[in-house]
Structure 1
Amino acid sequence: MKKPLFLIAACSVACAAHAQSSVTLYGIVDAGFRYVSNAGGKSQYALAGGNESASRFGLTGAEDLGGGYKAIFTLENGFTTNTGALQGGLMFGRQAFVGMSTPYGTLTLGRQYLTLSGYLGQYASGTDWAARGAGWGYHPAGLDDVDGTERANNAIKFASARYRGFQVGGTYSLGGVAGNTTQNEMISAGVDYDGGPFKASAAYLFVKNPNYALFGNNATSSATGNNMSASPVFSGYATAASQQVIGAGASYVFGKFTVGGIWTNTRFNDLGGTVVTGVTTPASQRGKSVTFNTGELNLKYRLTPSLQLGVAYEYTRASSYLGLSGASYQQWNIGADYALSKRTDLYLIGLRETAGGFDSTGQRAVAALTFATPSKSDAQAGALVGIRHLF
């Protein structure tokens, strides 16, 4: 009888340990049709994936270590629905981190979202319901990183436990450059309050060499996203030695309505301080700074348990450059989402942007929906319709 009892005891211990650990497979598959007007002077139509949400799959897990402590990890892959291509050619281009959850907070290491986007993104329509997968609803060129498109490599991140609704957090991303750990570094911090129907946050971000760190796409970057040359909104400021973002947002739920707002101040400092091939800063502007102020108001309405409607207005104003009036961008986002089930929904999104003044290239500003081909004029519109499934 001793042997069977030993086996039963061993099985009991193993089963108990297994019960305290979990690994979850999750994901989103999104596809539909896109239309954008005046993309380089022509209308564009496309069957595309990742319109309302970027398509992805991931693994997240936790092991209970006792006493309120857990070992945690997340590995998340982004892919293109239509072709199956990996996001940026990376196996886990969205997130890849491991860490500890404790009664005092959570500490994680790896490729992660910055604290600013984590705290402020919830108040922006472009990261909630307005074409967040395509990025068209983001603030111009994603310049304030509220959207979280630019993750941080080599990142150390901490978020405290909540106390009376408050949480504080911070992220430090090492630059990853041999012999110079502070080159391309990123520092972000913030405070978040969740008081039930009322929520509010404030956050800060500082980046060295933003063209390579925050918006870079090379092996020595802190992030792997789109470099600043992708948009005339800020391509002329790619030589900035540093970037600073401060912002605040809030939302309130009353009945079927949710009203939200966000403001950010983005500053590109010491123009000419970073060498960028193909970008020359005029001598008269070297060492100077350029500032963007962005404000957004948005409203969601739950018409029925299955149907949500949304509308948002965004306004961005840049300071003067080369003695010219700075660019201004105004954008309207509207959308509808209909849930067929808890996991599957249909969406319809419309967007329109207008521009004025002079942009970072010293030319008349053109409308440029984020991640879309810039317009040849001061106006551009886009529309997306599709289906999304979560698992």
Structure 2
Amino acid sequence: MKLCAVVYKYWRQIIKPNVLALVAGVLSCGAALAQTNVQLYGSVDEGLDYVNNAGGQSLKAVNAGKRSPDRFGFRGTEDLGGGLNAFFKLETGFNSDLGNQANPNKFFNRYAQVGLSSTRFGTLTLGHMPDFAYDYVGVLNNSVPGISWSYSPGNLDNLANIFGMDNAIRYETPVMAGLQVGVMNGFGEDPSNFSRSRTYSVGFRYNNAALKLAGSYSMFHNRTADLKSIFGVTNVLGQSLAGAQFNADRFSTGVLGASYQVGIFVPHATITQVQLENARGEVIQRNLQAGVNTDLSGGRKTRILGLSTAHSTFEAITYNQYNAFLSQYLSPTVQIYCGAAYVHASGPGARATAFGYTPSSGRTQTLTRAGVQVQF
């Protein structure tokens, strides 16, 4: 309740006046100064993986998008004058190893948005987009610029962009003394029940060059989670998971992250909590990740070594993971890299699992990868 009161106060005193001013600015601007800029952009990442235990067997495979998701998109801006811009962004994910869509049910599964941005009043965006956990905190995680297996088991905290908000409207303040705050709401669009399938998120980020801080809180109503595949559980809060996903009445995430650059070293940490609720009670996943990225090129940022560790719990199951990677940038948009990870799980029925890979049949799992990523 205290959080809701703080958000409402901020909305009434700061956000609402700025949104109204932004709309007023749109209505008063002319079209004579319009200048349009449209870009095609994206990333292709391929690599060779070795997993010592994937469902009981060793696995050698060429996999896509494990350093950074394969994607392409279109983004554009139009200068409307007076510090006001219109913009759009359309982005879809794909798998370059198979040539198919990452999500066959949504073509622009990562972003499909349009909005207005003012240097004075902030930014208003509408469409399909991730919450602030990804947009604000995700960059501070072990997986950036590492390998995606460093995300927490199942990525339930959404530090990787795999679950976006539909029918969303989002407002972000201008950056003030390094601080930016955002709020967003995704409408469930059920006329009989306003809360059904509704989502909302609040977040902040702060950057003063050396220090970066970010945090967010997100709530999803009536969201499912594949807890059986991730954790190997068969019954959660009275729901049988035989052939079915867990349906949470309320699915909330709270995340915090920070990094601080000290010369060639960038230590970083994120802490997240995921809470799934239904009428029978709640289950909680907690994740703590920390590491350090070292610029071996002496400040040029062309050779990065990353070492990190992670500790996660879900009910009585515990996961400890240790990661290492080395990236060599051949140009600002091309890198070759390699990495390794070791996962140990403990608790009743526990089996080791790394995000994006088949769980082990036992309590440990070792993964290695070497690949190349090209951005455009």
The structure-2 alpha-carbon separation of the partners of 1:71 and 1:33, relative to structure 1 and needing over 3 Å to count, comes to same
Q: Relative to structure 2, which stretch is displaced further, 287-296 or 348-357?
A: 287-296
Q: How does 1:318-357 map to 2 (within 5 A)?
A: 318-319=314-315, 326-357=316-347
In structure 1, runs of 5+ residues without a counterpart are: 1-15, 216-226, 274-286, 320-325, 359-363
Corresponding pairs, count: 332
**RMSD, aligned α-carbons:** 1.9
In structure 1, C-alpha distance between the alignment counterparts of 2:234 and 2:68, rounded to whole Å = 26
The structure-2 alpha-carbon separation of the partners of 1:384 and 1:34, relative to structure 1 and needing over 3 Å to count, comes to same
Q: CA deviation at 1:194?
A: 0.9
In structure 2, runs of 5+ residues without a counterpart are: 1-31, 237-245
Q: How does 1:283-302 map to 2 (within 5 A)?
A: 287-302=280-295
* Matching residue within 351, 356, 367 for 1:371: 356
Q: CA deviation at 1:116?
A: 2.1
The residue matched to 1:116 in structure 2 has which SS?
Answer: helix
* Matching residue within 143, 147, 154 for 1:141: 154
CA contact (8 A) 2:33 2:80 kept: no
CA contact (8 A) 1:76 1:96 kept: yes
Q: CA deviation at 1:200?
A: 0.9
Q: In the alignment, which residue of structure 1 is the partner of 2:185?
A: 172
What TM-score do the two structures reach when normalised by structure 1? 0.80
Q: In the alignment, which residue of structure 2 is the partner of 1:94?
A: 110
* Matching residue within 122, 130, 140 for 2:146: 130
* Matching residue within 70, 87, 90 for 1:75: 90
CA contact (8 A) 2:33 2:81 kept: no
The structure-2 alpha-carbon separation of the partners of 1:188 and 1:235, relative to structure 1 and needing over 3 Å to count, comes to farther
CA contact (8 A) 1:141 1:234 kept: no
Q: Name the amino acid aligned to 1:347.
A: Y
Q: CA deviation at 1:181?
A: 4.0
Q: In the alignment, which residue of structure 2 is the partner of 1:257?
A: 265
Q: How does 1:118-267 map to 2 (within 5 A)?
A: 118-126=135-143, 128-132=144-148, 136-177=149-190, 179-211=192-224, 215=225, 227-232=226-231, 236-237=235-236, 238-267=246-275
In structure 2, C-alpha distance between the alignment counterparts of 1:44 and 1:157, rounded to whole Å = 42
Q: In the alignment, which residue of structure 2 is the partner of 1:383?
A: 368
The residue matched to 1:209 in structure 2 has which SS?
Answer: strand
The residue matched to 2:327 in structure 1 has which SS?
Answer: strand
The residue matched to 2:100 in structure 1 has which SS?
Answer: coil
The structure-2 alpha-carbon separation of the partners of 1:74 and 1:383, relative to structure 1 and needing over 3 Å to count, comes to same
The structure-2 alpha-carbon separation of the partners of 1:197 and 1:46, relative to structure 1 and needing over 3 Å to count, comes to same
Q: Name the amino acid aligned to 1:106.
A: T
Q: In the alignment, which residue of structure 1 is the partner of 2:312?
A: 316
In structure 2, C-alpha distance between the alignment counterparts of 1:388 and 1:370, rounded to whole Å = 19
State the Cα deviation string for residues 173-231 of structure 1 (Å, max 9, x = none).
122546434212111111211111001122111111220xxx5xxxxxxxxxxx44432
Q: CA deviation at 1:110?
A: 1.0
In structure 2, C-alpha distance between the alignment counterparts of 1:46 and 1:236, rounded to whole Å = 32
CA contact (8 A) 2:125 2:170 kept: yes
CA contact (8 A) 2:133 2:157 kept: no
In structure 1, C-alpha distance between the alignment counterparts of 2:321 and 2:101, rounded to whole Å = 31
Paired-residue identity, %:
30
In structure 1, C-alpha distance between the alignment counterparts of 2:271 and 2:230, rounded to whole Å = 21
What TM-score do the two structures reach when normalised by structure 2? 0.84
CA contact (8 A) 2:216 2:254 kept: yes
The residue matched to 2:248 in structure 1 has which SS?
Answer: coil
The residue matched to 1:340 in structure 2 has which SS?
Answer: strand
Q: CA deviation at 1:331?
A: 0.6
Q: In the alignment, which residue of structure 2 is the partner of 1:111?
A: 128
